[in-house]
Structures are given as C-alpha cells and as structure tokens.
C-alpha cells in the first residue's frame, strides 16, 4: 500500500512540476518587453525637429498605454513596452492627431528604433484665427488640457448654421435642376408647336413705351429703333416717358419731333417729379395709352423690326404678358460681359423656359415684353413700393389668373454693363427688389385661393432666389471657422466630412447652365471643355459678388429704402469705342474695402492649407480669393481711370 501511495504521490508531484514549468514559461513569454522604443518627429511644414510634442504608445496586446514627450531633437523614448502589435499616436493638443501602427517581436527585446533618417512628419493644428478656450484641469491627481464646454458648444452652433446654409443652397440647386429637366423635356415639344401667324387685318393697336432717365448715350437709338417697327401705322403709338434732368431731355425732344414729322404717332411725356421712378413713369402715362397692348423697352435695347409681328399673335386664351429672351449686343466686349451673358442665358433659357414649360409663375423682366393693358389694370396697376415693379406686378397678375407666355426664340438684343460698378449697381437693384417683393408677396402667395400647391412652392422659391447670396456669404465666412473646428474637435469631423455631399449642388447647377450654354459649336468634348472653363469663371465671380448682393438682399428684407439707381448705358461694342460715361459714378466704399480684405483672408487660407496638405476646402477658398481679387482690383482700376 505504501509503495502504491508513493508512486501516486510521485506522479502527482510530476504533474504539478510540469504545470508549474508551463506557467513559468508562459509567464516569461508574456513578460517579454522591448526595453527601449524610440523615434523622431519632425514638423511637416518646416522639416525641423518637433520639440515638446506629446506622443502616446498603446500596446494592442495588453491595452496598456505609455506617454512620452519629444526632446529638443524631436526624439521620443518609451521603456518596457510589451512585445507585439502597437499603435503610436500623436496626442499633443497643438498637433493634428495621427496614428502609426507597428509591431515588435523577439528581435526587439533590447531596442526597437524607428529609422532616424525618416522621422514621423507631424502637422500643427492650423489654429490661426483665435483660441477656442482650452483649459487646464486636474482630475484624480493628474493635470491635463481639456476642451472648454462653451467653445465646444460654439463649434456645434457654427456647424449648425453652416449646415443650414448648405441645405438651403442645395435646395436652391435642386429647384434649378428641376427647371432644367422641365426645359429639356419641353424642348422637343416646343419644336413641334405650331407658331401662330400674324394677321394684319386683325392686328390690335399697340403702344410702345420707352421709359428713360438721363440716357444721352442711347436715347436716339431706341427711339429710332421703335419708329422703324414693321407694324400698321394706324395701330401704333410710341410714348417716350422721360424723367431726365440733364441734356437728355433736349436730345429726346429733338428726336421725337423728327420722328413725328414722318407721320408716326409719338409722344414725349416729360416729368419733373420722379415719384415712383420707372414704375411711377409707367403708371403716370397709363391714361394716355391708346393701344390695347403695351410693349416696353429700356433705353439700351435694340429689338428687331418684326418684334410686334412675332409677339402679338400669342395673345389669346387669357394671356396677359408675352416676354422675349434678351440678347447681348456687346457680349464679346470683355470677360465681364461674357460672364454676364453666360448667367443671363441661364435665366432666359432654363428658368423662364423651365417655369413656363411647367406652367409655373414667371416674371416680366421689365423690358422686351408686351402687356395686355387690361391685365395691368386688373392686377392693380404699376406700384412703386419696391424697386422691381416688374416682378411685383407679374405675381399680382398671375395670382389673378392671367397667363404669361415666354418666347425663347424671339430675341431682343440689349447692352450688358461694361464696368464693375455698373454691373454691381444693376445686381444691387435686382437683388434688393427681389427681397422686397418676397416680403410683400409671400403671405398672399401662400393664402391666395385657387392656386396650385406647386405654383405656391415654386413661386416662393422664385421670389426667395436672391437670398442664395446671403447663404453663400455666410457659408464662405463660416468655412474659415469650420477649418478651425476641424483641427480642434476631432469628434465633430464626421459632420464636416458629410458636407462634401453637397458638392451635388455644383453638379446640379452645372447641368442647369450646360443646357443654356449658347456657345456650343458641335463637337461635344470641345464644347464641354469650353463650358467647364466658363462655368468655373462664372462661379468664381458670382461667389465673390455675394458680399455686395447679400447687403442688397438684407436691405430689402429690413425695409431700408433707396432710390432707383439706373444702370449706366454706354452704347459701345468694342473697347476702343469707350470714351467714358458721366453717369457711371465710382467711389471706393466700405464694401469695396471689405472685398479686398476677404481676398487676402481667403488667399492666405488657401495657401496655408495647401502648405499643410489639407486640400479639402482649398479650391473653394482659392475661387473666393480670385473672385474677390477680380472685383477689388477692377474697382481700383476704374476709380483710378476716373480720377
């Protein structure tokens, strides 16, 4: 029995011994460490050693973390790190977070060194704007830097506003895209439409109104153009609505006398009191209108002789207005006029054509169109509580059931502004007037009985169009803060990256303008290449006009009244014909100075982010810098030339 017991005891002891040895070996294996792990950091921009940078090493095998700080040579050292897979992280609050995975094995028990010839390149956070309020806190006996609650909240608010602007711009581009689709669908249908024929025997009497104010350079041309209309003289009247305060009134009087001597029914109606400006002049002349229909032309237009013959046949079935497409007399004068033509072609092809094809409300463009007199009277007549009386009356008329007809194939050539100051003056009036009409009409558009929901929706979008410049301005300025947030708050980066989805807005707008691009020559790829270049140029200048246009829109919403600032006319088609224009007043304003400041800010940001390799917003900021630069230096040049 004792012998058996001893044998059993020996066997048990051997098992324990083997098990103990196994545990010892396993424990020894798990306890294997790299006594020293070291490497170097260098600044991505300067290539200099990155001093005093906090680095964290995490063992993926044990989950243990180690913290070190680089010395004056950019060197970091970790000791007694478990062998196996690890992650090296840049955790310094002043640097952009980076992670570098690596793995050690039994060959690195004494030392693991990253190649000193190729140090890790680290990027400083590009926090050049202002400090977000990092604060030093002590918890559990440890002191560290923590992001301040209020700065984090401010970042979220900024991202919220930024995202709202992106959504509104995206909504705008979706509406424009829908109009482009409607235009394309209707194009084939329009080509098959039967064009109504002109019948001289049944032609109604037409009054042509030519509103003018100090138009000495173009007054004679438009009067002569109207006098040459091919239309029965017994059914034809011309009214020159003259509010001029300079020698223009004498030029007009002489020209009117000359035309009247030919037996043409023409009147010179001169007002001393400019109440209501253009709308006031149109309204004041209504009691002298002899025709059933009224054709209106601004002083810089040169319509074809057969204009009335091509438009009057469309007045049937409740049509109150026939609007024609604007052409461009001086499109090739400069890059500025080329870009204006590009943008206006989008409006007159896609927006007017698309809305008309979908049977939504469109607007009379203030000129190059014909009104039924009864339509004006039924809608309440010309009102001058906004500076875009044409848009105002258009909506009042259509809400009362009058139909508008847009004729893309009938072109009425006009002059484009050739100076930056003239263009901004025109844009200011259009943008502010659009906002004024929105404030005046939106409630009526929502509540007016009998309107289709789609007409209400598209009408509100149409009247709200000018506000897109406010969103672009806010978006561009906040994008500077967004870059700072991107560097400072890693948990918010996902929301910032989501903003890239709204690049679709640009794609939708490209489709919109591609279908209105009138410079196509037949070769698709050549046309596409030329279009992309022109589209980028157009966006660049349009985005930079957002400052002055946004100011105009805000003035409109706030009800800040201003006089009707007429766009100066030049009557030039080539640069060597320009001898100056006394109406084109130029002075350096606060807005001009702000445009120069924004040019510098966005230019610096684009260069700064390029140097640091963060290219996400560089194209956007570069376009803004170039656009503001074009506007700022054009303004300086025009002011210097005037002086």
The residues that are catalytic are: 243, 390
Helix axes 590-611, 546-558, angle to 10 degrees: 130
Contact at 8 Å (CB) between 298 and 221? no
To the nearest 10°, report the CA torsion of 244, 247, 250, 252: -60
Distance CA 290, CA 39 (A): 92
Residue whose tokens read 């001597």 = 261
Element (H, E) at 90: strand 85-90
To the nearest 10°, report the CA torsion of 405, 407, 411, 415: 40
> Which residues, including other chains, have CB under 8 Å from residue 245's CB and lie 6 or more apart?
213, 214
**Dihedral sign computed on CA atoms, order 148, 154, 158, 159:** positive
Pairing type for strands 266-270 and 293-296 reads unpaired
Pairing type for strands 293-296 and 135-139 reads unpaired
Residue whose tokens read 């995206």 = 170
Distance CA 95, CA 215 (A): 62
Contact at 8 Å (CB) between 61 and 32? no
Distance CA 65, CA 559 (A): 62
Helix axes 618-642, 524-544, angle to 10 degrees: 70
∠ Cα 71 73 74 (to 5°): 65
**Dihedral sign computed on CA atoms, order 476, 481, 483, 489:** negative
Phi, psi of 559 (to 5 degrees): 75, 25
Rg (Cα) of the chain, in Å, rounded? 36
- Count Cβ neighbours within 10 Å for each residue of 181-210 and write b for 16 or more, e otherwise: bbbeebeeeeeeeeeeebeeeebebbbbbb
> Which residues, including other chains, have CB under 8 Å from residue 343's CB and lie 6 or more apart?
538, 542
């Amino acid at each position: 029995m004792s012998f058996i017991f001893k044998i059993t005891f020996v066997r048990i002891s051997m098992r324990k011994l083997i098990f103990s040895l196994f545990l010892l070996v396993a424990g020894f294996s798990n306890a294997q460490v790299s006594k020293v792990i070291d490497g170097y950091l260098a600044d991505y921009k300067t290539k200099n050693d990155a001093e005093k940078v906090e680095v964290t090493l995490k063992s993926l095998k044990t989950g243990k973390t180690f913290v070190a700080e680089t010395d004056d040579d950019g060197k970091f050292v970790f000791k007694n790190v478990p062998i196996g897979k690890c992650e090296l992280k840049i955790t310094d609050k002043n640097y952009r977070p980076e992670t570098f995975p690596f793995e050690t094995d039994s060959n690195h028990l004494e030392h693991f060194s990253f190649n000193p010839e190729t140090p890790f390149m680290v990027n400083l956070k590009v926090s050049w704007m202002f400090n977000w309020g990092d604060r030093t806190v002590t918890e559990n006996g440890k002191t560290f830097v923590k992001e301040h609650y209020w700065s984090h909240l401010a970042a979220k608010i900024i991202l919220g506003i930024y995202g709202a602007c992106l959504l509104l711009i995206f909504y705008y581009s979706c509406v424009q895209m829908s109009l482009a689709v409607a235009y394309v669908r209707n194009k084939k249908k329009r080509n098959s439409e039967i064009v109504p024929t002109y019948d001289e025997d049944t032609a109604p009497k037409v009054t042509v109104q030519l509103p003018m104010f100090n138009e000495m350079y173009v007054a004679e041309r438009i009067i002569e153009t109207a006098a040459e209309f091919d239309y029965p003289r017994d059914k034809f009247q011309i009214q020159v609505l003259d509010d001029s305060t300079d020698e223009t009134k004498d030029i007009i009087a002489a020209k009117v006398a000359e035309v009247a001597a030919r037996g043409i029914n023409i009147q010179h109606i001169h007002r001393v009191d400019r109440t209501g400006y253009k709308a006031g002049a149109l309204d004041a002349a209504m009691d002298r209108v002899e025709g059933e229909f009224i054709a209106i032309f601004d002083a810089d237009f040169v319509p074809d002789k057969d204009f009335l013959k091509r438009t009057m046949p469309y007045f049937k079935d409740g049509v109150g207005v026939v609007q024609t497409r604007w052409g461009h007399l001086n499109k090739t004068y400069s890059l500025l006029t080329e870009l204006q033509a590009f943008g206006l072609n989008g409006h007159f092809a896609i927006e007017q054509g698309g809305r008309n094809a979908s049977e939504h409300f469109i607007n009379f463009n203030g000129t190059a169109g014909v009104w039924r007199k009864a339509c004006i009277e039924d809608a309440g007549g010309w009102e001058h509580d906004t500076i875009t009386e044409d848009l105002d009356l258009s909506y009042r008329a259509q809400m009362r059931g009058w139909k508008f007809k847009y004729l893309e194939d009938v072109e009425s050539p006009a002059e484009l502004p050739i100076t930056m100051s003239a263009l901004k003056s025109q844009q200011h009036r259009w943008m502010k007037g659009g906002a004024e009409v929105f404030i005046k009409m939106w409630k009526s558009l929502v509540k007016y009985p009998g309107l289709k929901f789609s007409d209400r929706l598209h009408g509100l979008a149409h009247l709200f169009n000018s506000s897109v410049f406010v969103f672009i301005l806010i978006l561009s300025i906040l994008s500077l803060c967004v870059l700072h947030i991107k560097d400072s708050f890693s948990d918010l980066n996902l929301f910032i990256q989501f903003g890239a989805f709204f690049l679709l807005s640009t794609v939708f707008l490209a489709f919109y303008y591609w279908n209105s691009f009138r410079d196509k020559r037949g070769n698709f790829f050549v046309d596409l290449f030329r279009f992309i270049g022109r589209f980028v140029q157009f966006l660049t200048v349009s985005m930079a006009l957002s400052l002055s246009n946004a100011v105009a829109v805000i003035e409109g919403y706030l009800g800040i009244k201003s006089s009707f600032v007429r766009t100066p006319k030049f009557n030039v088609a080539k640069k060597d014909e320009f001898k100056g224009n006394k109406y084109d007043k130029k002075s350096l304003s606060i807005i001009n100075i702000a445009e120069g400041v924004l040019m510098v800010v966005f230019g610096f940001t684009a260069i700064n982010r390029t140097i640091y390799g963060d290219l996400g917003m560089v194209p956007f900021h570069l376009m803004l810098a170039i656009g503001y630069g074009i506007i700022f230096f054009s303004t300086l040049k025009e002011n210097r030339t005037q002086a």
